[in-house]
């Protein structure tokens, strides 16, 4: 029985030796290729739990794109629209359901997903492997890999791409421990898996919670459960489109998530889809070019740098054009891992198409936050369950 894996290094290259081990039984994880480090394992084990719970709860293939122990994106296999395919550089690809989930997860925040760790809920097929092979990524974890898919992935990064196989039947012990500065913390593992029955306490005047919003609330809560706190998540069409992670202020989480969601929608604006990139410009450079194109202010050096990607100088979108496009957005779900202490997050969310909110509740200002939702006609659910993750 394999009880230990020697790691490349710990949190940083100078932290070695490092290892992953179990004191009892066998490791539920196998290294099929490459050599992981500590951060790889932290991303792998957190992201695996996220996609496993999405799969269990929504019965759809799921994927996550992780960076520094938080999801840059997560999604289930909801079919992509033509504009979504084009914005994700997937218009010409044949996508299996699992590949569709990863296109969505990777497409949530393509800038942040550069060099990501990938988690997949189902057996990795050739369609998904081909998609992964063309992206800049550090590794992948999944319950199984088809033989052709594994062969494709083993060619990545000159044969050093990290591939981990997770025992899908593995259940962790109820109690978990963490050692910090020579001291050991112990707690009951967070075994609360968000389900549809958690969404019964609708506190706003608007009580209409469509099936689509229910699905997206579950995606938001499960994603938040494995995101560094404080965190706020925007979800649309079965995928995270903006994650505000690890901020000390709730409103800063909301602003970060909302700004990312705005960018996700603006990437599908016709003028953005038609940007005149030079033929030899790759996807990463295009992502950076689009990101720079959508910025409101730049230094002269920044302006000159991103313009090198284009055949001709593109005409920027005006504030009025951006606002007109975003004003057509609706049906977005906003989730929070803890209560909103003020109405400011609701006000910011209203400018980014949020129609439904899910949060634990429990603030002294719950009434004021609910009143703000009522002003905008939003539906808001209190779950009563905080989802902090550190």
Task: Tell me what pLDDT residue 305 has.
Answer: 78
Report pLDDT for 311: 85
Task: Reply yes or no on whether the pLDDT at 1 is more than 80.
Answer: no
Q: How confident is the model at residue 180 (pLDDT cuts 50, 70, 90)?
A: very high
Q: Which residues of 69-100 are buried (b: 16+ CB within 10 A; e: fewer)?
A: bbbbbbbbbbebeebbbbbbbbeeeebbbbbb
User: Residue range 55-64: average pLDDT?
Assistant: 97
Give, in degrees to the nearest 5, the angle at Cα 190 between 186 and 194: 175
pLDDT for position 69: 94
Please give the average per-residue pLDDT across 359-387, as a whole number: 97
Label the pairing between strands 137-142 and 116-120.
Answer: parallel
Residues 125 and 135: beta-carbon distance below 8 Å: no
CA distances from 299 to 12, 304, 311 (A): 33, 9, 21
Active-site entry in 46, 156, 230, 260: 230
> CA-CA distance, 199 to 138, in Å (whole number)?
36
pLDDT of residue 299: 83
Q: Rounded to 5 degrees, what angle do the CA atoms 303, 306, 312 make? A: 95
> Does the pLDDT value for residue 31 go beyond 90?
yes
Task: Check if 68 is active-site.
Answer: yes
Which of 16, 68, 252, 389 is flagged as catalytic?
Answer: 68
Mean model confidence pLDDT for the chain: 95
**230 noted as active-site residue:** yes
Q: What is the pLDDT of residue 315?
A: 87
Residue 390 designated active-site: yes
pLDDT confidence bin for 106, thresholds 50/70/90: very high
pLDDT > 90? residue 304: no
* Cα three-residue angle 132-233-253, rounded to 5 degrees: 115
Helices then strands, counting H and E runs in the chain, come out as 13, 15
Which member of 40, 67, 156, 225 is catalytic? Answer: 67
């Amino acid at each position: 029985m394999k009880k230990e894996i020697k790691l490349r290094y710990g949190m940083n290259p100078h932290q070695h030796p490092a290892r992953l081990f179990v004191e009892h039984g066998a490791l539920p994880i196998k290294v099929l290729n490459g050599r992981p480090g500590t951060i790889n394992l932290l991303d792998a084990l957190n992201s695996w739990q996220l996609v496993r719970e999405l799969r269990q709860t929504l019965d759809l293939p799921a994927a996550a794109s992780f960076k520094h122990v938080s999801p840059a994106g997560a999604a289930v296999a909801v079919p992509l629209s033509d504009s979504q395919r084009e914005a994700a550089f997937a218009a010409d690809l044949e996508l299996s359901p699992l590949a569709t989930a990863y296109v969505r997860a990777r497409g949530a925040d393509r800038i942040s997903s550069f060099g990501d760790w990938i988690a997949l809920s189902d057996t990795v097929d050739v369609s998904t492997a081909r998609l992964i092979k063309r992206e800049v990524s550090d590794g992948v974890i999944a319950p199984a890999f088809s033989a052709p898919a594994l062969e494709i992935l083993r060619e990545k990064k000159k044969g050093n791409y990290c591939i981990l196989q997770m025992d899908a039947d593995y259940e962790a012990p109820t109690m978990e421990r963490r050692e910090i500065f020579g001291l050991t913390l112990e707690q009951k593992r967070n075994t609360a898996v968000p389900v549809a029955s958690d969404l019964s306490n609708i506190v706003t005047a608007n009580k209409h919670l469509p099936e689509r919003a229910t699905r997206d609330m579950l995606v938001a809560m499960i994603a938040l459960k494995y995101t560094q706190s404080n965190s706020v998540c925007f979800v649309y069409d079965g995928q995270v489109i903006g994650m505000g992670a690890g901020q000390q202020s709730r409103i800063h989480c909301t602003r970060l998530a909302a700004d990312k969601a705005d960018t996700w929608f603006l990437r599908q604006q016709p003028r953005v889809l038609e940007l005149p990139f030079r033929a030899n410009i790759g996807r990463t450079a295009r992502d950076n070019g689009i990101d720079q194109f959508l910025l409101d202010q730049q230094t002269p050096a920044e302006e000159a740098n991103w313009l090198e990607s284009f055949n001709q100088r593109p005409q920027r979108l005006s504030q009025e054009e951006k606002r007109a496009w975003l004003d057509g957005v609706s049906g977005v779900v906003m989730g929070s891992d803890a209560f909103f202490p003020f109405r400011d997050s609701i006000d910011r969310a209203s400018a980014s198409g949020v129609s439904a909110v899910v949060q634990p509740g429990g603030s002294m200002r719950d009434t004021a936050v609910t009143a703000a939702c009522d002003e905008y006609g939003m539906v808001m659910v209190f779950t009563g369950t905080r989802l902090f993750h550190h």
